[in-house]
């Protein structure tokens, strides 16, 4: 069976983003099960409904990359106990124009990391409620990761064994969810 195509969105535009580091490590960890492609969001203009009639080319590209993916992995930081503005902007472009919601029916897995003890939990919870409202089919469970300097090693692997196993479990369940959802419904 062909490998699943996973679009990865990182909710940070920071050069040394710890969430990008985690996202790359997840892409590596799951490389035998899925093909990952990183979807750019930092070039999307600030959402404005006036632009919906003639979508900016960056928004067209973004929406087609989501459409072509079997599932979407979102790895996000927490900003002020919520979703970073950069990511929310991308969510809005995905949701619009009315009737062209890129998220509806799309399998999704949300995770993220923060140096704080609760590892981006509140941002993830806010994002879950937004994405469920938009019709995304989210993987259950809570994948909050506290970032420590040695979490990802120099080769881009998740160094801590228990964290690696924890996240591997999520990736495995995410791929199972995608495969199950792609099967025709019994009559
Ligand atoms: C505007 C702003 C708000 C932040 N708010 C939170 C927060 O609510 N909770 C938290 O754990 N960390 C917070 N942080 C710290 C981030 O977790 C930290 O900057 C982290 O490196 C961001 O992820 P990134 O490196 O992938 O961009 C905040 C950082 C910024 C810049």
Residue by residue, pLDDT tens for the chain (187 residues) are 789 999 999 999 999 999 999 999 999 999 999 999 999 999 999 999 999 999 999 999 999 999 999 999 999 999 999 999 999 999 999 999 999 999 999 999 999 999 999 989 999 999 999 999 999 999 999 999 999 999 999 999 999 999 999 999 999 999 999 999 999 877 7
Q: To test the ligand 1 pocket, which listed residue (13, 41, 79, 115) has its Cβ within 8 A of the most ligand atoms?
A: 79
Find the length of the chain: 187
Token code pair at residue 134: 């938009």
Residues forming a β-bridge with 72? 7, 108
Q: Please name the residue whose Cα sits nearest to atom 14 of ligand 1.
A: 79
Cβ of 17 closer than 6 Å to ligand 1, yes or no, is: yes
Q: Which ranges of the chain does DSSP label H, i.e. alpha helix?
A: 18-29, 57-67, 85-95, 121-133, 161-182
> ∠ CA 122-34-29 to the nearest 5 degrees?
65
């Amino acid at each position: 069976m062909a490998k699943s195509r996973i679009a990865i969105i990182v909710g940070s535009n920071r050069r040394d983003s710890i969430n990008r580091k985690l996202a790359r490590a997840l892409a590596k960890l799951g490389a035998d099960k899925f093909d990952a492609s990183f979807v750019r969001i930092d070039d999307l203009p600030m959402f404005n409904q006036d632009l919906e009639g003639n979508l900016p080319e960056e928004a067209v590209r973004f929406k087609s990359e989501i459409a072509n993916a079997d599932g979407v992995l979102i790895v996000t930081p927490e900003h002020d106990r919520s979703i970073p503005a950069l990511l929310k902007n991308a969510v809005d472009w995905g949701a619009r124009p009315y009737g062209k919601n890129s998220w509806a029916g799309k399998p999704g897995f949300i995770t993220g990391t923060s140096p704080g003890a609760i590892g981006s939990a509140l941002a993830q919870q806010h994002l879950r409620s937004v994405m469920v409202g938009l019709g995304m089919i989210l993987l259950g469970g809570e994948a909050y990761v506290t970032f420590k300097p040695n979490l990802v090693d120099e080769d881009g692997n998740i160094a801590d064994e228990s964290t690696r196993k924890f996240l591997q479990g999520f990736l495995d369940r995410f791929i199972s969810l995608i495969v199950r959802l792609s099967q025709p419904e019994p009559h």
